Amino acid sequence: MTIENVVVIGAGTMGNGIAHTFAQFGYTVTLVDVSTESLHRGVSTIEKNLDRQVKKAIIEETVKSETLSRITPSVNLENAAVNADLIIEAASENFEIKASLFKLADSVCKPHTIFASNTSSISITSIAAVTSRADKFIGMHFFNPVPLMKLCEIVRGYSTSDETYSIIETLAQKLQKTPVNVQDYPGFISNRILMPMINEAIFCLMEGVASAEDIDTVMKLGMNHPMGPLTLADFIGLDVCLSIMEVLYDGLGDSKYRACPLLRKMVAAGCLGRKSGKGFFTYA
């Protein structure tokens, strides 16, 4: 099966990066969002990021214009989905939203259309179960910023077929990503390992083991991490970190995934990291 027409649902942080990447590698993309404001913001972010790629001589000016010409914004999923070979969803991290989008797409798509979700933490198996094509349902977990980050976790739901896996693995390679084969368990690989590390750094801060700066310095200089865990948590958003810890705790049932009380307290206080101007550090 050949994938040519791709529908990306959600024009936010991840959706615009995914649309940019597919279009840059020659796919025809319809970028769908419920909000026209998000669509405008998404397309202008793609333009800015393409400009940056041109300035850094990663792509040529003609690639920029060709990439943009392949992206059509739309607020109508029903129309966009009819001709799609692949639907990749990067809407808000909420099961009900994702389930209703895929149910709608399932009712209008062609039988061969593959469905992929970019969810960070929701079970691929349970979203697939609301559709009539669980064998053609898979996780494509990209990383931010999508045009730059090489990894794509390819998450196999309980019913994902070998054929679907193989098509999506080849597709990720065509996008110049490195695909990693992951079974559908909470947090996949990335967040199952990353979030407990961030959570432990927050426990260290709460218990007064060291200051936020010193915790980050240890992990940067001692472990060669490019960014300390508390800076990274601020970047991801503390509310997102808390909700992923809850997914790990609920899904794996082990007390080692208990969210640090300081993390809960900061989220309750509205200290969400960069996006709120304050988390473990302060942002202008």
Ligand X SMILES: NC(=O)c1ccc[n+]([C@@H]2O[C@H](COP(=O)([O-])OP(=O)(O)OC[C@H]3O[C@@H](n4cnc5c(N)ncnc54)[C@H](O)[C@@H]3O)[C@@H](O)[C@H]2O)c1
As annotated, the active-site residues are 120, 141, 153, 191
Gyration radius of the chain over CA positions: 19
Is residue 247 a contact residue for ligand X (CB under 6 A)?
no
Residues in a beta bridge with 74: 32
One DSSP character per residue, 53-110 reads HHHTTSS-HHHHHHHHHTEEEES-HHHHHTT-SEEEE---S-HHHHHHHHHHHHHHS-
Is residue 38 a contact residue for ligand X (CB under 6 A)?
yes
Determine the interface stretch with ligand X among 61-69, 90-98, 167-175, 205-213 (rule: CB under 6 A). 90-98
Q: How far is the CB of 11 from ligand X (least distance, A)?
A: 5
Is residue 217 a contact residue for ligand X (CB under 6 A)?
no
Is residue 200 a contact residue for ligand X (CB under 6 A)?
no
If the CB atoms of residues 49 and 119 are measured against ligand X, the closer one turns out to be 119
Binding to ligand X in span 91-120, by CB under 6 A: 91-93, 97, 101, 118-120
Q: CA 14, 18, 24, 29: dihedral to nearest 10 degrees? A: -120
Residue partners of 139: CB distance under 8 A and separation at least 6? 116, 117, 118, 119, 124, 153, 154, 155, 156, 157, 182, 184, 188
Is residue 19 a contact residue for ligand X (CB under 6 A)?
no
Is residue 216 a contact residue for ligand X (CB under 6 A)?
no
Q: In what order do the strands lie in the sheet with 5-9?
A: 71-74, 28-32, 5-9, 86-89, 114-117, 137-141, 151-156, 178-183
The position carrying tokens 């990894």 is 151
Is residue 246 a contact residue for ligand X (CB under 6 A)?
no
Quote the tokens at residue 37.
């404001």
Query: How does strand 151-156 pair with strand 178-183?
Result: parallel
Lay out the site mask for ligand X across 117-156 (x = CB under 6 A, - = otherwise): -xxx--------------------x-xx------------
Among 7, 8, 11, 201, binds ligand X (CB under 6 A): 11
Apex CA 45: angle with CA 43 and CA 48, to 5°? 115
Q: CB nearest ligand X: which residue? A: 12
Is residue 178 a contact residue for ligand X (CB under 6 A)?
no
Q: How far is the CB of 210 from ligand X (least distance, A)?
A: 27
Is residue 10 a contact residue for ligand X (CB under 6 A)?
yes
Cβ atoms of 8 and 24 within 8 Å: the answer is no
Among 4, 26, 35, 95, binds ligand X (CB under 6 A): 35
If the CB atoms of residues 23 and 204 are measured against ligand X, the closer one turns out to be 23
Determine the Cα–Cα distance for residues 163 and 229; give it in Å rounded to an integer: 38
Determine the interface stretch with ligand X among 29-37, 106-114, 126-134, 245-253 (rule: CB under 6 A). 29-37
Q: How far is the CB of 15 from ligand X (least distance, A)?
A: 6
Query: How does strand 86-89 pair with strand 71-74?
Result: unpaired
If the CB atoms of residues 8 and 260 are measured against ligand X, the closer one turns out to be 8
In the complex, the residues that contact ligand X under the rule CB under 6 A are: 9-15, 32-35, 38, 90-93, 97, 101, 118-120, 141, 143-144
